[in-house]
Every structure is written in structure tokens, then in C-alpha cells.
Amino acid sequence: RTLGLITTDLALHAPSQIASAVKTRAGERGASVLISMVEDPQQCLAAVQELLAQRVEGLLVNVPLEDALAESLQAQAVPVPVLFLDVTPNARVHSLVFDAEQGANLGAEHLLALGHQRIALLGGPQSSVSARARLAGWLSALGQAGLEPCSVVQGDWSAASGYEKGHQLLAGAILPQAILVANDQMALGVMRACAEKGIAVPGQISVVGFDDTTDSAWFTPPLTTVRQAFREAGLRSVEWLLAQQDSAKEAPSQTRLPVTLIERHSTA
């Protein structure tokens, strides 16, 4: 059997780990996976057509998609089942997504419990539904504690953007006590900026990431982060696709995967 995976940039750590998990699980189940990488969500429609022409029997879509675009892709693929990995809970499609709100809460509450109040936010690209959900989650968690972030900036998920935005956050007269970062790669860049300025992490600034991609335990210092279990997500999405027969006729099946806080040494 052949499955298709439409994915965002595989040079990013999280999508590449998801693709790896999908490939591995499919291999164990005797299925092959054709991968199509898109640079822009608008290219998804062409990718669906291309994979359908190659007779895939199920499609996974790991591209941040607005509800309407996801719904129209699902309609295009009928009768082939499609499972979306980066959509909002409002999209009327089959989805398996990590709980962004829970993740944002875990990070914010961890910093609040450590006594930090001057907290800066480094969000992901606001074109991404998950980046928006994480930012909204942080703002609401801080709001519930009666706090506002001391600054809010936005990167593009890359370590380079984390480095650049990190320097921006460290340029003011008063340093933040902590920074919530929307992914581990940007947190890596932030910690590099801190090191360049001689600012101790976690002594002077605590840093929390998001993803727990496999290298994050080897950062300096090892990163405290919100773990999204990518291997598990890959496994479950392959199993779901292989189990589908008439999913096009069924109501959308929506699974929200819980996330966990991994406390390492970038927070104190």
C-alpha cells in the first residue's frame, strides 16, 4: 500500500521528525510513503493532485492550514482519506493535533511558579495556526495571573530568527526575567544571543522552548521545553490512515494529543 505525506519545510526539525516517524511506522506495516514538500500552503492543492495521480490510498498533511483550505483539500481528495496535523479544532476535517493551549499553559505556569513576572514572548510566524494558538495560550495564561508580557516578538521558526529576535529582546535597559519561545530551534538562537551578551541562562534569564526535538537535550544548557511526541503522532497517523475505509462519509474525527513539560536546565 502507498500513503502520501504533504509536508512543510523538512529543513525544520519538527516536520522532519514527523516525516521520519511516518516513514518508520509505514515501513513496519509494509506501506510506502511518497513525500511532497510545499513552500506555501497554496501549493497543497497541486500536491494533492500529484499524489492522487500516483494512486496513494491515504494522505497526511503536515502544513499549517486555515480551516477553509483544509476543508477544500479534503473535498478534493474524496474518496481517499486525509488526516491533517496542523489545523485548528474548528476545521471540519479529520485531524490529529497537539494541544497548543495546554502546551502554552505548561510553559507559562512553569515560569510563574518560579516567580518570574517580567516575561517576554517570542512567537512563531503568525501565518501558522499553531504559532497563533501558542501565542494566544501564553497571553491568556499570563492574563489569568494578572500579567502582560514585557514584549512580544515574532520569528520564523529558525534558529537564525531566534538569534536575531533574541538580541532585540536583550537590547532594552531592563532585561526580561524569562522568555517563552514558540519552538526549540528559536530557543537555540535566543540562548546563543544570551551567551554573546554574557547573560547567564538560567541565572539571569530563563528560557522555555516548545517541541522537544531530539537535539534539545544537548543544547547549552539543556533546554526546558514542551514536549510534542512526534514519534507517537507519526505512528498514530499512519495507523489511522491504514484503518480507514469510508472515512469520507464519516463525521470528522478529531484527536488532540496531550503535551508535557520537560524540565531541564534553561529555567530556574
Does 95 contact ligand IPT by CB under 6 A?
Answer: no
For residue 205, give the nearest of 267, 117, 260, 133 by alpha carbon: 267
Task: Specify the residue, 83 or 175, whose C-beta has the smaller distance to ligand IPT.
Answer: 83
Do the beta carbons of residue 231 and residue 80 sit within 8 Å? no
Q: State how beta strands 32-37 and 2-7 pair.
A: parallel
Among 85, 104, 120, 188, binds ligand IPT (CB under 6 A): 85
Q: Does 64 engage in binding with ligand IPT (CB under 6 A)?
A: yes
Map residue 169 onto helix, strand or coil.
helix
154 burial via Cβ count (<10 Å: 0-12, 13-18, 19+): middle
Shortest distance, CB of residue 214 to ligand IPT, whole angstroms?
A: 13
**209 lies in the site for ligand IPT, by CB under 6 A:** no
| Residue 128 contacts ligand IPT per CB under 6 A | yes
8 A C-beta contact, residue 241 and residue 58:
yes
* Least distance in angstroms from the C-beta of 43 to ligand IPT: 14
Task: Assess contact for 102 and 258: CB atoms under 8 A.
Answer: yes
State yes or no: residue 157 binds ligand IPT (CB under 6 A). yes
Span from 12-20, 76-84, 88-96, 140-148 in contact with ligand IPT (CB under 6 A): 12-20
Binding site for ligand IPT (CB under 6 A): 8, 12, 14-15, 62, 64, 85-86, 128, 130, 157, 183, 210-211
